Amino acid sequence: MNFRINRRSFLKTFSATLSSLGLQAVGQKAVPSLPPDTTPHTMAHAGWVEEINTKFRKNLVGIQVRPFAWIDEGIDQVLDNLQSKAAVTSVFAYTFDSDPNRAKKSGGRLPDHGKYGPDTLRTGGASFDYDRRYFEGTRIKDFRSYDDGKFNVIADVAPKLKARGMDYIAVDFTNPFPMMMRTIPDLIDLAEVDMYGRPTNRPCYNHPEYQAYLVGKMQVYLKQYGDAVDGVMWNVESMGPIDNMIGADWAMIGVTCFCEFCRAKARDRGISVERAKEGFRRLEHLFRPGPKRAQRPPDGYFVTFWRTLMKYPEVLAWHNLYMDSFNHVRAQLYGTAKALAPEKPYGLHMMQNITFSPFYSASEDIEAISHISDFLKIATYSNAGGPRMGRLIDRLADTVFRDAESSDLLPLYSKMMNYDITSVEDITLNGLSSEYLSSEAQRMIADVEGRTKIYPSIDIDVPTAATGEKRTHPEDVKRAVAAAWSTGVPGIVLARDYSEMWLANLSAAGEATRTALQGRT
Ligand SMILES: [Zn+2]
């Protein structure tokens, strides 16, 4: 318990220290000393959201399903499996899929159901028809996927699902995927721009036409398909430039964003664009690949890192600008959803790095996010989490803590994050414990103080490396599901994707849920 408090205090203090460094220097230039308050607080103070009576499914058991699974196996067959084996109440159906990859005979592996996909390239996009009038404010109007013909994952699936008393949650999965830039006309015009002026493979949150496009999709889900959709989850992963530099599994391309809209926003905050770029260049040089010892600066890596932040507080200011912009869009979509369908839950996917990285965890202000969401689905993957955490520790020892090796860093990291890890080899081979999952769920529950629901997600057969890394077994699933329910959460989500899961593991999830919920009302 003490550790938990210590960790939160550490992160808050650390974050506050970093912010104050950035703000102090900005203040010296006689410009506004504080960036504008983030939208979350503004919305909370406005009061109207507190009056909304959002309806939640009790003891929700969700599962994420990719569009092609319905076609491969048949809608009824999939629903039979979900209900009878895994006790699923709510399907988190990918309506927009930005990562259309799937197992093919030429690469990938199937569990004991489903089919291999064709070798032809898939484009991803919207697996539903939409009214173009919702997209008048943006040039992004053509994003329908025909990977699966004219199959409509809302109109074709939702009625069958609802006839069984299940809920349909539309998952708008909008991670960057290079194919999108090639297949969606004009999307490249909205791209984030890196510090060297190069457009990247993801659109910018500050581009008004990207915002209009995202709001348009929310309108489609909740107006055009208002009878079919019971809730929405915006599923996107963004870390900001500093965490992208540290990297690991979730890193996005480039130190961004320096587009015209972001530069204008920076000017409003009194942040020097050129000094921000120079600070990032210095960090990039410090973190460059190569022999650690030979490249070590005279004062060491960490001292140089900290000195760079003090000398160029614009780096932190730019990082904050990015995360504030991300939260602004989250808030915009939340407000749109609540205005259109106040009773339907709107939630966010929170990627697993929030449980691993002290830096990213400090960047994502869960308390603030609790004001702009009805639920948070946290990727608390205990099986695939082992190798993932191992790679993050390696990256920390290759960047900010480059004076040390991963094995040196591990004991301190373990204390800092309140984990009990003996070695990176151990977590890579055996995964993380179910205590990892329950303690992270409890931390989030404490952070949000009841303002938003916390749904931990249980990973089932999320792919790990071909050899040596942890695979999922039914006993793992049972332990993870039991650990999640033991925290008193109102729901869980089985992840990442039904088409990856072995049926024995699905059954294990169902068995553990039925046992855990016995006697619960
Ligand atoms: Zn931008």
pLDDT at 5: 33
Q: From the CA of 217, how far away is ligand 1's center (Å)?
A: 21
Residue 1 lies in a domain: no
Residue 45 lies in a domain: no
- Burial class (CB within 10 angstroms; exposed 0-12, middle 13-18, buried 19+) of 153: buried
pLDDT at 6: 39
Q: From the CA of 296, how far away is ligand 1's center (Å)?
A: 33
pLDDT at 8: 43
Residue range of the domain that includes 488 = 52-253+330-517
Instruction: Report DSSP state, residue 82.
Output: I
Q: Helix, strand, or coil here: 233?
A: strand
Q: From the CA of 23, how far away is ligand 1's center (Å)?
A: 21
Number of H helices, E strands in the chain: 23, 11
Q: From the CA of 191, how far away is ligand 1's center (Å)?
A: 7
Q: From the CA of 194, how far away is ligand 1's center (Å)?
A: 9
Number of domains the chain is built from? 1
Q: Which residue has the higher pLDDT, 428 or 44?
A: 428
Q: From the CA of 260, how far away is ligand 1's center (Å)?
A: 6
Q: From the CA of 455, how far away is ligand 1's center (Å)?
A: 31
Q: From the CA of 322, how far away is ligand 1's center (Å)?
A: 8
DSSP-H helix ranges across 157-272: 158-163, 178-183, 208-219, 241-246, 260-269
Q: From the CA of 504, how far away is ligand 1's center (Å)?
A: 45
Residue 124 lies in a domain: yes
Q: Which residue has the higher pLDDT, 303 or 181?
A: 303
What is the average pLDDT value for the chain, to the nearest integer? Answer: 89
Q: From the CA of 30, how far away is ligand 1's center (Å)?
A: 25
pLDDT at 24: 32
Q: From the CA of 320, how far away is ligand 1's center (Å)?
A: 13
Q: Which residue has the higher pLDDT, 37 or 402?
A: 402
Structural tokens at position 260? 């015209």
Share of the chain above pLDDT 90, in %: 78
Q: From the CA of 390, how far away is ligand 1's center (Å)?
A: 32
Q: Which residue has the higher pLDDT, 279 or 47?
A: 279
User: How is the chain split among helix, strand and coil, in percent rounded to 5?
Assistant: 50, 10, 40
Single pTM value for the model: 0.89
Residue 24 lies in a domain: no
pLDDT at 383: 87
Q: From the CA of 179, how far away is ligand 1's center (Å)?
A: 20
**Domain CATH for 461:** 3.20.20.80
Show the beta-strand stretches assigned E in 258-374: 346-350
* CB 258, CB 200: distance < 8 Å: no
pLDDT at 251: 73
Q: From the CA of 207, how far away is ligand 1's center (Å)?
A: 6
Q: Looking at residues 483-491, what average pLDDT do you find? A: 97
Assign 17 a pLDDT band (cuts: 50, 70, 90): very low
Tell me: the pLDDT tens digits for 132-173? Answer: 999 999 999 999 999 999 999 999 999 999 999 999 999 999
Q: From the CA of 262, how far away is ligand 1's center (Å)?
A: 4
Tell me: the pLDDT tens digits for 303-346? Answer: 999 999 999 999 999 999 999 999 999 999 999 999 999 999 99
Q: From the CA of 354, how far away is ligand 1's center (Å)?
A: 23
Tell me: the pLDDT tens digits for 35-76? Answer: 444 444 444 444 555 567 899 999 999 999 999 999 999 999
Would you list the DSSP string of 144-156?
B--TTTT--TTTT
pLDDT at 179: 84
Does position 224 have pLDDT exceeding 60, yes or no? yes
Residue 84 lies in a domain: yes
Does position 7 have pLDDT exceeding 70, yes or no? no
Q: From the CA of 252, how far away is ligand 1's center (Å)?
A: 14
Does position 26 have pLDDT exceeding 60, yes or no? no
pLDDT at 248: 74
- Out of 47-51, 203-207, 460-464, least confident range: 47-51
Residue 366 lies in a domain: yes
Ion ligand 1 — residues with CB under 5 Å? Answer: 204, 206, 257, 259, 262
pLDDT at 466: 61
Q: From the CA of 258, how far away is ligand 1's center (Å)?
A: 5
Q: From the CA of 437, how far away is ligand 1's center (Å)?
A: 35
Share of the chain above pLDDT 70, in %: 90
Tell me: the pLDDT tens digits for 187-204? Answer: 999 999 999 999 999 999
Residue 282 lies in a domain: no
How far apart CA 207 and CA 213 sit, in angstroms, is 10
Q: Which residue has the higher pLDDT, 180 or 263?
A: 263
Beta bridge partners of 457: 379, 493
* CB 518, CB 87: distance < 8 Å: no
Q: From the CA of 271, how far away is ligand 1's center (Å)?
A: 14
Q: Helix, strand, or coil here: 87?
A: coil
How many other C-beta atoms are found inside a 10 Å radius of the C-beta of residue 425?
12
Does position 366 have pLDDT exceeding 60, yes or no? yes
Residue 271 lies in a domain: no
